Chain A
Amino acid sequence: MTEAPLEAPIETFPIHKDTGPNLQARKLPPHRIVLILIGLALVASAAYFMRWEWLPNYGGLILQGLWRTIWILCVTVFLGFLLAVPLGLAQASGPAIVAIPARWFCTVIRGTPLLVQLWLLYYGLGSLFPQYPWIRGSELWPYLRQAWPYAVLALTLSYAGYEGEVMRGAFAGVPKGQLESARAFGMPRFTIFRRIWLPQAIHRALPTLAGEAVLQLKSTPLVATITVVDLYSVASRVRQDTFLTYEPLLLLAAGYLVITGVIVFLFRRVERLIPSKLG
């Protein structure tokens, strides 16, 4: 049971294919030119035949939703990663008293749908809090009455659960000799962690981290179900107001495609910054 991959985060985005300079040098084969032309024709006909006159009215709202989606994505990936490091470390080399709860946390998070986690926090916790007068009187109450703290909490925990498993593998995968030689240098334990263990683990986990970031982006629309106004909920509102079926959804899909492309591009840049040599 210890090594059982519950849902190993292997379905990464193909960031890793080495599409270096030889891709640009290669000429486009003719069938691909035809496919591109067909694609352009589809986009052009969508722009021409479909109804887009609602677009200017909702421009501000769309930008606001886009901003909130990106904001939630960045915050939860950052916080989730901070949480995933101790989770991974506890499972990789901690004593049983921290390893077992960490493993259980990851199992529970990865074994239940995010939607249920989100609704459990928002409706469940949200209905418990008002019963306690000291919570209602506290400084945090104005925040606890809004939806976004629950969205951020649920997405952070979810990311930490999946990423904790990745970091466990990454920490365990750093060669023992590296840590032993650091110890032989007389480095204190925390310095070993900061200078040797963590950087190498992150380097190992980076491709998976990028894939997980894309998966996290794909989870963000769920927050619309607890009334957080993100990109998805803006599109739902347009659909309700204008009775259009296709247009808002197509625009929404295109928006997520672009954000995915940006994430993949950014992670590829970061990965290139780290010098690596195949052993």
Chain B
Amino acid sequence: MADASIIPAGITGMFDLLSPVAPGWGANLLRGLVRSLQIALGAFGMGLMIGTLGAYGKLYGGPIVRDLAAIYTTLVRAIPELVMILLLYYAGTDLINRILEGMGYQRVDISGLVAGIVVLGFVQGAYATEVLRGAIKAIPQGEIEAARAYGMSPVLMMRRITLPAMLPHALPGLANLWLISTKDTALLAVVGFSELTLETRQAAGATKAYMTFYLAAGALYLFVTLFSNVILEWVEKRARRGMPSVREAH
């Protein structure tokens, strides 16, 4: 234990541990990374759907819909994600099974992937609601009035006018949400879903090379973030083409 295990083992030992072939744990980490990205993508997509509904509800809904949307966003943004995950993960699956049993069906095993996506998507939805609401409000009123004057149906107006026109305003906030989504997947490690963080923990626990594996996991997350930033910047530039720059001269 004295000095052979962690840092003094040197760079070669580190690469042996991280190599993707059998004695190394690299393949496990990469598998975890893929699962993390799957969940992040799913949760982000589900958050977008909930967010669109929520934003429309908050802006155009009746008083009750508006209040319910406000309760949803306030509660989700005030309760820690970890607590939400536990509540929805355990209580949610328990509730679904009780309902199914009450109706005379078999209990179902809800897969970790689906549960993770639903839980994180529910949390993302609250933030996405606020982002999209602000973006829709930033569309010049005349554009929506003109669409209405043309006699467009609400769905057509949403597809042709509102969603494309709000996109440049929403993109910075949505980029944020995507980054939060990739990092929130780490919380699923606490409920035992084997994404990148839990795979890292298992690898570190088995080899006792805690420093190496946690640094490697951090590097993978950081790579995802930086890579996303490059893509998002490009998307944002493309969505904003033809528009005046909004970057304030600080």
Q: Could you list which residues of chain A lie within 8 angstroms of chain B, going by C-beta atoms?
A: 3-8, 10-11, 13, 29, 31-32, 35, 107-108, 110-117, 119-120, 123-128, 131, 169, 172-173, 214, 217-222, 225, 232, 245-246, 249-250, 252-253, 256-257, 260-261
The 21 sampled A-B contact pairs (Cβ below 8 Å) are A7-B176, A7-B180, A11-B173, A29-B63, A108-B222, A111-B225, A115-B186, A115-B187, A119-B200, A123-B210, A127-B210, A128-B7, A173-B250, A218-B79, A220-B80, A232-B80, A249-B87, A249-B91, A250-B87, A253-B87, A261-B78
* Chain A neighbourhood of B15, CB < 8 A: none
Given A35-B64, A257-B75, A127 and B211 touching (CB < 8 A)?
yes
Contact B82 A232 (CB under 8 A): yes
Residue total for B at the interface (Cβ-Cβ under 8 A) = 58
Chain A residue nearest to B222 in the complex (CB): A111
- Determine the distance from Cα of A260 to Cα of B74 in the docked complex, in whole angstroms: 10
Known: A120-B211, A127-B6, A246-B91. A113 touches B82 (CB 8 A): no
C-alpha gap A31/B189 in the complex (Å): 41
Whether the Cβ atoms of B221 and A113 lie closer than 8 Å is yes
> Which has the most chain B C-beta neighbours within 10 Å: A7, A31, A250?
A7
Residues 1-41 (chain B) with a chain A CB within 8 angstroms:
1-3, 6-7
Chain A residue nearest to B185 in the complex (CB): A113
Q: CB within 8 A of B211: which of A7, A128, A173?
A: A128
Label chain A's interface by main secondary structure: helix
Bound-state CA distance A250–B78 (Å) is 13
Among B3, B94, B204, B215, contact of A131 (Cβ-Cβ < 8 Å) = B3
Report Cα–Cα, A23/B133, bound state, in Å: 22
Q: Let me know if B130 and A117 touch, CB within 8 A.
A: no
Task: Report B184-235 residues with CB < 8 Å from chain A CB.
Answer: 184-187, 189-190, 197, 200-201, 204, 208, 210-211, 214-215, 217-218, 221-222, 225-226, 229, 233
Is the C-beta of B238 less than 8 angstroms from some C-beta in chain A?
Answer: no
Whether B186 and A113, one on each chain, are in contact in the complex, defined by CB atoms closer than 8 angstroms, is yes
Q: Give me 7 other A-B pairs in contact (C-beta within 8 A), A110-B225, A113-B184, A124-B210 excluded.
A: A11-B176, A112-B222, A114-B186, A116-B200, A126-B210, A131-B1, A256-B79
Q: Which residues of A contact B208 (CB under 8 A)?
A: 127
Interface centre among A107, A123, A250 (most CB of B within 10 A): A123
A82-B214 Cα distance, complex, nearest whole Å: 27
Q: Give the residue name and chain of the B residue nearest to A254 (CB).
A: B79
**Bound Cα distance A261, B78 (Å):** 8
Residues of A within 8 A of B204 (CB): 123
In the complex, what distance in Å separates the CA atom of A11 from the CA atom of B233?
Answer: 19
Report Cα–Cα, A153/B223, bound state, in Å: 24
Residue in B closest to A29 when the chains form the complex, CB atoms = B63
A residues within 8 A CB of B96? none
